[in-house]
Amino acid sequence: MEAPKQEVLTAPELPPMVLMLPSPGMGHLIPMIEFAKRIPLHQNLHITFVLPNAGPPSKAQTTVLQSLPNSISHTFLPPVTFTDLPPNTKTETLISLTVLLSLPSLRQTIHSLSVSHTITTLLVDHFGTDAFDVAGEFNLPKYIFYPSTAMSLSLFLYLPRLDQEVHCEYRELTEPVKIPGCIPVHGKDLLNPVQDRKNDAYRTVLRNAKRHSEADGIIENSFLELEPGPIKELQKGKPVLYPVGPLVNREVEVAQAGPNCSECLKWLDDQPDKSVLFVSFGSRGTLSSNQTIELALGLEKSEQRFLWVVRSPYDKVVNASYFTAESDSDPFDFLPNGFLERTKGRGFVTSSWAPQPQVLAHGSTGGFLTHCGWNSVLESIVNGMPLVVWPLYAEQRMNAVILTEGVKVGLRPNVGESGLIERQEIASVVKCLMEGEEGKKLRCKMKDLKEAAAKTLGENGTSTNTISKLALKWSNSNKSNVTN
For residue 402, give the DSSP letter. I
DSSP string for residues in 265-280: HHHHHTSPTT-EEEEE
Q: What is the spatial order of strands in the sheet that 118-125 belongs to?
A: 72-76, 46-51, 16-21, 118-125, 142-146, 217-220, 240-243
CA neighbor of 226 nearest in space, from 437, 399, 429, 34: 399
Within 8 A by CB and 6+ apart from 59, the residues are none
Q: Contact, 399 vs 181, CB < 8 A?
A: no
Instruction: Judge whether 328 counts as a catalytic residue.
Output: no
Per the annotation, the verdict on 330 as an active-site residue is no
Find out whether the peptide bond into 57 is cis, omega within 30 degrees of 0: no
Taking the chain, what is the end-to-end CA distance rounded to the nearest angstrom? 31
Q: Write the CB contacts of 380 (distance below 8 Å, at least 6 apart in sequence).
A: 360, 368, 370, 386, 387, 446
Task: Classify residue 465 as exposed, middle or buried by CB count within 10 Å of its CB (0-12, 13-18, 19+).
Answer: middle
CB atoms within 10 A of CB 237: 11
Q: Which position among 46, 74, 125, 212 bears the catalytic label? A: 125
Output the CA torsion 214→215→217→221 (10° steps).
-120
Active site residues: 28, 125
